[in-house]
Amino acid sequence: MSMKKTCVWNREDIVNIFEQIKIYYRDSIKIDDFVALKLVAEGAEPFEVLVGIILSQNTSDRNAYRALLRLKNVLDDVITPDRILSIDPSVIINAINVAGLANRRLQSLLELSRHIKENPKFFNDLKNLSVDDARKALLSIYGIGYKTADVFLLMIYKKPTFPIDTHIMRVLKRLGIVHEDMGYEDIRKFILGVVEHNPEELLSLHISLIAHGRMICKARNPRCSECPINTKCCRIGVQ
């Protein structure tokens, strides 16, 4: 299999690769495979979307959505801070355990609910903040990390940021576009320095790279022979 002889990429090459990936997955991506996208499409309130993203941490989006539906069921189909804070915590744990890490997620949901109850205008204020200030506001809440904050801001408020998950990180490092020792923030800033800050295009690239990591550029046994960009991949870390 031919591959790129060096791992030196210029901006034009990177943009072209990203466009190829977006085009390749354009017709195969399903909203149901992304819990935040699904909730936004269903018209969920920002609080419910953020709860869904928290439930998706370190698990599949399908498990997260199952946990969310179970949570809605015990909350009488209304996910609000008041409802979460008024119910027995053990009931919440039982509802969300399908997503794993139930005790940790419970604490995140309780802290988020308390924060929103104490700051009822939080979401209205958030949408008017700059990307950096909005990220800081979200990151100040227990259980919300960089990825959760960025997914929420991009999908709910169309703010120009770029969430990085394990699939995206793996794909970019295998391609040789980013260095193996680069972490979340370094990669996010690098991508934002390469692509245009169009929220719709950022979202398209985000879900396309995830799809590529899930379907072809897998953590184990990547399907390189089926990859649409295999002739340009440096295959870093792939035997």
Using one digit for the tens of pLDDT, what is the confidence trace for 122-152? 999 999 999 999 999 999 999 999 999 999 9
Confidence band, pLDDT 50/70/90 cuts, at residue 7: confident
Asked if 210 and 165 count as a contact pair (C-beta separation under 8 A), the reply is: yes
Domains defined along the chain, listed by start: 11-29+162-232 (1.10.1670.10), 33-157 (1.10.340.30)
Kindly indicate the confidence band of residue 6, based on its pLDDT and cuts at 50, 70 and 90. Answer: low
Report whether pLDDT(238) > 60: yes
Torsion sign across C-alpha atoms 151, 188, 179, 7: positive
Instruction: Enter the pTM of the model.
Output: 0.94
Give me the pLDDT at residue 1, please.
Answer: 41
Structure tokens at 188: 């996010």
Query: Are the CB atoms for 174 and 129 separated by under 8 Å?
Result: no
